[in-house]
Structure 1
Amino acid sequence: MRLEVCVDGADGATAAVAGGADRIELCSALELGGLTPSAGLMARAALLPVPVHALIRPRSGNFRYSSAEVATMLADIRAARKAGLAGVVIGAALADGRLDADTLARLRDAADAMSLTLHRVFDLVPDFAEAVDTAVTLGFDRILTSGGAPTAPEGIDALAGICAAAAGRTGIMPGAGIDAGNVGALLEALAVDEVHGSCSVAVAPASSRVAPGFGGDARRETSADKVRALKAAMMRSQAARRER
């Protein structure tokens, strides 16, 4: 049972590893849902003792990308591969919400042998089963999803259907709103072997002064204690299943 923790900085990555994360999803600007990390952060994260997958998302907002944005994403994937990261987390959509298979194929080809995760663009598709088939055809190793709900616990019924549609052809990794208090029920209901969490806590600003144009003070930090608690709850659930 593997725990992937999403982080948006070097300190967060260190805390995630200290708490027992099995894999890191590396981002920037998690307050925007996560954007592509810098080349410097990718290079530093490559030194961690666990696999690191970089989110490739050039901007916030929707997942319909222009040709210039696709070119940027291709360059960012090449940078992640050059840095020595184990995988990338990608997604792209058409105007009707279906997966943009042509763009995803180009991104996949740029990733070469890197591990591929389809991000939560999946949660916006009109037909989960069709999107699972597309992801399988494209060769994705896993799909990160909340079942189309704000949180994975709220989307548990849809997640069960997505797992059934995947039928072992690609991994289904529940994510969003998962913590030590609810992961047991999630794992009881779903046949999955990976879980995604942020394991973050709100932190007080160091100063009330922020330069104009640089955003507000609200931010969150990865908590090694929360990572540790979530991983322990996952292990307890797995042990309980083995005993039955």
Structure 2
Amino acid sequence: MVTVQAETAGPFLEICVDDVAGLDAAVAGGADRIELCSALGSGGLTPSRGFMSVAANAPIPVNALIRPRAGGFTYCEVEIALMQADIAAAREAGLAGVVIGATTADGALDAVVIRRLMDAAQGLDLTLHRAIDVVTDMNAALDLAIELGFSRVLTSGGARHAEEGIETLARLAGHSAGRISIMPGGGVRPQNAARLLALPGIRELHASCSEARVSEPRLAELGFSTETTRRTDADTVRALKARMLDGSA
């Protein structure tokens, strides 16, 4: 039986981060939970064991994204074993939960693989990641997520950004009927938080709250960095959380 972490009734903000500075900024800005990743520029990949260990000391819950590579969500046996080992690492580090998902070649959630990952994650908080955004029948996928016992589903409503998928998000929230949390993610900013939280049943938002920064020219020249990078910004986190609280008043 999965242990679902206790959360406040008010709006709940999850910030995804891929480095220690981002972790610190998210906490300082008032995030309620962290999704721990690497390579956010590729949509987020599994963080290192060392990063998991550091993040376990954060004063808020931390869930590790379990995604072994960029691209789709159909996995071979070696990749499944890798994800099981990464889930074990998250547990050993003392993290609150994991963020998982897998799809079949014909565009459905892969219940067999997901159950194997859930078996490895017994007792951890469980989020279904944006694999749901690539399935052909999102309602069926949502029903499966509810049946399996996920705490929440992270989704953009099948669009590039959550604001573009707002009609689908509303439909999913209605279909869930309070049985699972629908957490919009993808392009969530202070400017659109109120619109997303106005959807009946939506109480959690997922964002990076990153701002573009100019890289050191020498590092970009040598290929150690792109010309600009995005970094989690504590003020943006703070502004998003404030908009969420204002909208719930």
Bin of the TM-score, shorter chain as denominator length: over 0.9
Aligned with residue 150 of structure 1, among 136, 155, 160: 160
The structural deviation recorded for 1:92 is 0.5
The one of 91, 108, 116 aligned to 1:98: 108
Matched residue SS, 2:235: helix
2:247 matched to which residue of 1? 237
Following superposition, the deviation at residue 216 of structure 1 comes to: 3.2
CA distance in 2, matches of 1:95, 1:218: 36
- Asked if structure 2 preserves the Cα contact closer than 8 Å seen for 1:18 and 1:224, the reply is yes
Number of aligned residues: 239
Q: Deviations over 1:68-113 (max 9, x none)?
A: 0000000000000000000100110000110010000010110111
Report the Cα offset of residue 137 of structure 1.
1.3
Give the match for residue 71 of structure 2.
Answer: 61
Deviation at 1:212, TM superposition (A): 6.8
What secondary structure, in the 3-state scheme, does the structure 2 residue paired with 1:189 have? coil
Mapped contact 2:178–2:201 kept (Cα < 8 A): no
Report the secondary structure of 2:211's partner residue. Answer: strand
- The answer to whether the Cα contact below 8 Å between 2:212 and 2:230 also exists between their aligned partners in 1 is yes
Q: Any idea what the Cα deviations from partners look like across 1:155-177, whole Å, max 9, x if unmatched?
A: 11110100111111111101111
Which residue pairs with 1:112 in the alignment?
122
1:226 aligns with 2:204: no
**Higher deviation after alignment, 224-233 or 203-212:** 203-212
Output the CA distance in 1 between the equivalents of 2:218 and 2:200: 44
With the length of structure 1 as denominator, give the TM-score of the two structures.
Answer: 0.95
Matches of 1:190 and 1:224, distance apart in 2: 28
Asked whether the 8 Å contact 1:145–1:174 carries over to 2, the reply is yes
**What residue ranges of structure 2 are gaps of 5+ in the alignment?**
1-10
Relative to structure 1, is the Cα distance of residues 105 and 213 closer, same or farther in structure 2, using a 3 angstrom cutoff? farther
Structure-2 separation of matches of 1:101 and 1:3: 28
CA distance, structure 1, for counterparts of residue 98 and residue 113 of structure 2: 15
Question: Following the alignment from structure 2 to structure 1, what is the Cα–Cα distance between the partners of residues 190 and 244?
Answer: 8
Shift of 1:211: 7.9
Which residue matches 1:205? 215
Shift of 1:178: 1.0
Amino acid across the alignment from 1:137: E
Q: Give the Cα–Cα distance (whole angstroms) in 1 for the partners of residues 141 and 219 of structure 2.
A: 45
- Is this contact kept in 2: 1:31–1:219, CA < 8 A? no
Q: Which whole-Å CA distance do the structure 2 matches of 1:76 and 1:233 have between them?
A: 35
Which residue is 2:133 aligned to? 123
Q: What does 1:167-178 align with in structure 2 at a 5 Å threshold?
A: 167-178=177-188
Structure 1's 211 and 71: CA in aligned 2 closer, same or farther, altered over 3 A?
farther
Match of 1:192 among 189, 202, 205: 202
2:23 to 13, 36, 48: 13
1:162 to 152, 172, 185: 172
In 1: Cα distance, 2:220 partner to 2:54 partner? 27
Whether the 8 Å contact between 1:210 and 1:217 is mirrored in structure 2 is: yes
Distance 2:74 2:131 in 1: 10
Distance 1:213 1:207 in 2: 10
Q: Is the 8 A contact 2:35 2:62 kept in 1?
A: yes
Match of 1:242 in 2: none
For residues 6-42 of structure 1, what are the alpha-carbon distances to aligned partners after superposition, in whole Å with 9 as ceiling and x for unaligned? 0001110000000000000000000011000000000
Contact 1:208–1:217 (8 Å) recurs in 2: no
Which consecutive aligned stretches of 4+ in structure 1 deviate over 6 angstroms post-superposition?
none
Give deviations 1:98-131, integer Å, cap 9, x for gaps.
0010000010110111000000010111111100
3-state SS in 1 of match to 2:158: coil
Q: Is the 8 A contact 2:215 2:225 kept in 1?
A: no
* 1:53-92 superposed matches below 5 A: 53-92=63-102
Aligned partners of 1:148, 1:57: CA distance in 2, in Å? 19
